[in-house]
Structure 1
Amino acid sequence: MPESTAASLVGQEYEVEVGPVAHGGHCIARTDAGRVLFVRHTLPGERVIATVTEGHEDSRFLRADATRILHASKDRIEAPCPFAGPGKCGGCDWQHAKPGAQRRLKADVLTEQLARLAGMTPEDVHWDGTVEPAPGDKLPQGEVPGWRTRVQYAIDDEGHAGLRRHRSHEVEPIDHCLIAAPGVTELGIEKREWPQIATVEAIAATGSNDRQVILTPRPGGRLPIVELDKPVSVLRVGEKDKAIHRVHGRSFVRERADGRTWRVGAGGFWQVHSRAAELLVDAVMRGLTPRKGEMALDLYCGVGLFAGALAQRVGDQGAVLGIESSKRAVEDAQHNLADLDRVRIEHGKVDQVLPRTGITEADIIVLDPPRAGAGKQTVRHLAGLAPRRIAYVACDPAALARDLKYFQEAGYVPRFLRAFDLFPMTHHMECVAILEPAAKGV
């Protein structure tokens, strides 16, 4: 679309009363003239000076930062990270809020998304309205949990490591990321220069001592000699094919969850919070209560985490089918589950592969779709398999709410829902909804 020719309002200041939190790490405010502002670095109930960061005279809404706090919320604290704030690192949305307040804000967002997109209340989904912290994340005020086991650093023109500013390609140089897991911090990415490099991804497995660094050179850039203090695998992203090539060390890391070791290839998906995989497996298995001999599906299965957990519980008389679109993840899943004869992993998109399998019924289903959700077509297909229970793992409350509406239309309703704060300091959360047929006779 062509850019607007209307006058830019970037830099314009408005004094506003801040309203409710909205999905995306900001709050809603209105100018005296009624123009909507999405304001970051503020909290509901505050009075602030909001400085516009994006928008024109004809924009439906404006984006802004709270650059001066005139009346502070009781939930406001000084951001523990020196790189958090207006115009700085865009990675953390809620550094300025008490940890308990962050979880309440996330609960408000989930409640609003369920109401607006699904027409459901917390009571309808049997959710107690709380967002649960991960074990070990409740720390004294001022202390930040180092939870993030995978961090992608952007490199500026001088070769310094940093993180992207909000909705920008600009780099905020940093010397330490507070939310990075200790294993990432130990790699010392921020302490050295990275000439000719565009990005550095640092991975610290929690199930082993495996450490990995993935380098993406700038166009035409040469890979520097990498000598880090800790034993680490180094890989690079190819300029032309975008494939990941091993320089030295393993091409994967080993994670641990549910009593098993999981190989996760370079660029493969694994939950970034150090406790997330174990916590989510426990929540899903408690909700599904798998029985011996059942037929189970694990959709968007990644490296096979839920498929493996299901297989161990349905036993030799049961069966598990996993479907995953990433070829590398399928290879990892097949490796990880090679000892489980009753597990099959198929490569492809769920909405294309599942109809081709010929499966007409299943007892239990896990789906962990990408941020966009599963969608109406897939939801209808799953309901047509008449499972006794479905576990929906969601990383986005809007997608969750939309799909819960589709499930309701297809005859499935939430038995209960749990929400987890697996991304402290950010607006993100993870949810697990357990669904069952609305007609209890099934």
Structure 2
Amino acid sequence: MTGPDRPATGLDVGDVVTVEVGPVAHGGHCVARHGDHGQVLFVRHALPGEQVRALVTELGPGGRFVRADAVEVLEASPDRVTPPCPYAGPGRCGGCDWQHATPAAQRDLKAAVVTEQLVRLGGLTPAQVEALRVRCEPVPGDTEGLGWRTRVEVAVERRGDGSTVTGLRRHRSHEVVPVDRCLIAHASVDATGVLGGPPPPAPVVALDVVAPSVGEPVVVPLVAPRRIRGAARRGARHTPVPSGPVPEVTERVGEHRFTLSARGFWQVHPGAAATFTAQVMAWLDPQAGERALDLYAGVGLFAVPLAEAVGSTGSVLAVEADREAAEAAARHLAERPWAQAVAEPTERALDRLVAQGERADVVVLDPPRSGAGPAVVAAVAALRPRAVVYVACDPAALARDLRAAREHGLELVGLRVLDAFPMTHHVECLALLRPHA
């Protein structure tokens, strides 16, 4: 390859180089350097301290870095194990990042990533992070990191030779790897027979498989949006949509039941919702008569126990931009008239509350992977809460928002890092913020 993306060291896609593997980085890979210029490689399927032969798979913009796979391990880490799944490894299924490490080592890697993000993006000092005692904890409901994923999208690829392949996608690719069993999938997902069974008829391009905590699993066929089906056949990227009505599923957390669309958002690890709720309630410790705000509320996972805690002399406002989820939250709160759910973008709802001079005693922030953003953080601080719990599925977004929170008088005083996505690089963080003393 020639041009602006070719690295100055001359590395190109397909090259194989020997490198010493450095620290873990956010995204399921480790950092290595090659050549006199110290060309950065982000190497998957490696572990810190190893020496590997790395196959270059992709060039980063401007040649600033390259992506690579460790295709041969010359000196192995003591934390390395044989991946339990035969589909895990270079060039295979992209669903898992760390199957080649022990579960304990995986959690150590995730804790290291969170620590690095808090320092580099969050502006905390190493001493401040050390005081938080960052460690990644397992979540009840899996078996050594396997059998936990209750929601799986199975891909369907119709190939030029007329064959149809059902399975999971390669890393950073739309190519489908035939898979007859996914080891991180919940047993109920595998029991549907979608993986390894006969492929669905056209025009189905994917299958959403959902194993709720109440009732039987459901399978939702997905098709390309009608307006781009022709383009999809030519290989264009698209977001599949349901081929018909989507059934509802029921999830149970303690004594509470939540009914939602099978395609609606819910935590995929069977122990996550209960674990997160218990920590949110313990940290906020909502009292009778207090005003609670649940932002990015989904179907009301946190709003319902908050409403019970503050009682009829208090109030709860659940804000959720997705109308279907907000309507579900309203149904779940219906027996508690002092709590309400609104279908509105979070930033707009906060602007209104701040303009009206409102206050909130406790706040839950559970934003999407991109984070809440500085405007939302500033507005939350303007409501002068005594405590905020931020539920984050991306440590980089969390770190950026924590920096903004500190600028507006909210200090990080507690942190839990939870391994709600074993075998993958994803991790969930719960952060407790309080006003500066």
Q: TM-score, normalised by structure 1?
A: 0.89
Counterpart mapping for 1:82-97 below 5 A? 82-97=86-101
Q: Residues 5, 103 of structure 1: CA spacing in aligned structure 2 closer, same or farther, 3 A cutoff?
A: closer
Classify 1:284/1:123 alpha carbon distance in 2 versus 1 (closer, same or farther; 3 Å): farther
* Letter of the structure 1 residue corresponding to residue 112 of structure 2: D
Q: State how far apart, in whole Å, the 2-side matches of 1:198 and 1:414 are.
A: 44
Q: Does the CA-based 8 Å contact 1:8-1:57 persist in structure 2?
A: no
1:128 corresponds in structure 2 to: 133
Counterpart secondary structure, 1:189:
coil
1:398 is matched with: 396
Shift of 1:55: 1.2
Q: Given the superposition, is the C-alpha separation of residues 273 and 57 from structure 1 closer, same or farther in structure 2, using an over 3 Å criterion?
A: closer
Shift of 1:245: 5.8
The equivalent residue for 1:211 is: 217
Q: Percent identity?
A: 49
- Whole-Å separation in 2 of the counterparts to 1:370 and 1:292: 30
Residue 122 of structure 1 and its aligned partner are, at CA, apart by 6.6
| Match of residue 235 from structure 2 | none
SS at match of 1:152: strand
1:163 to 156, 160, 168: 168
Residue segments in structure 1 that go unaligned for 5+ positions in a row: 222-239
SS at match of 1:193: coil
Partner of 2:111: 107
| Residues 172-321 of structure 1: pairs in structure 2 closer than 5 A | 172-190=177-195, 191-196=197-202, 197-206=204-213, 208-218=214-224, 244=242, 246=244, 251-321=247-317
Query: How far 1:94 sits from its partner (Å)?
Result: 0.1
Summarize the Cα distance change of 1:401–1:192 in structure 2 as closer, same or farther, 3 Å threshold. Answer: same
Partner SS, residue 389 of structure 2? strand
Q: Does structure 2 conserve the Cα–Cα contact (< 8 Å) formed by 1:160 and 1:192?
A: no
Q: Aligned AA for 2:349?
A: V
Shift of 1:262: 0.0
Corresponding residue to 1:341 among 337, 340, 364? 337
Maintained 8 Å contact 2:319/2:346? yes
Q: Distance in 1 between matches of 2:104 and 2:359?
A: 43
Q: Give the one of 18, 27, 31 matched to 2:34.
A: 31
| TM-fit CA distance, 1:136 | 4.3
Q: Secondary structure at the match of 1:154?
A: strand
Q: Check whether the contact 1:420–1:431 (CA below 8 A) recurs between aligned residues.
A: yes
Structure 2 gaps of 5+ residues are 228-237
Shift, 1:195, TM fit: 2.8
Alignment RMSD: 2.1
Match of 2:386 in 1: 388
Q: Contact conserved, 1:89 with 1:165, CA < 8 A, in 2?
A: yes
Q: Deviations over 1:105-128 (max 9, x none)?
A: 000000000000112147536522
Aligned length: 412
Post-superposition CA distance 1:121-155 (Å, at most 9, x none): 4753652221010124463xxxx421100000111
**Matching residue of 1:147:** 148
Q: For the structure 1 residues 298 and 218, does the alpha-carbon distance in structure 2 shift closer, same or farther, using more than 3 Å as the test?
A: closer
State which of 416, 420, 423 in structure 1 corresponds to 2:421. Answer: 423
Query: Aligned match of 2:377 in 370, 376, 379?
Result: 379
Matching residue's letter, 1:386: R
Question: 1:392 is paired with a residue of what secondary structure?
Answer: strand
What letter matches 2:215 in structure 1?
A: N
Match of 2:231 in 1: none
The correspondence for 1:410, drawn from 408, 411, 426, is: 408
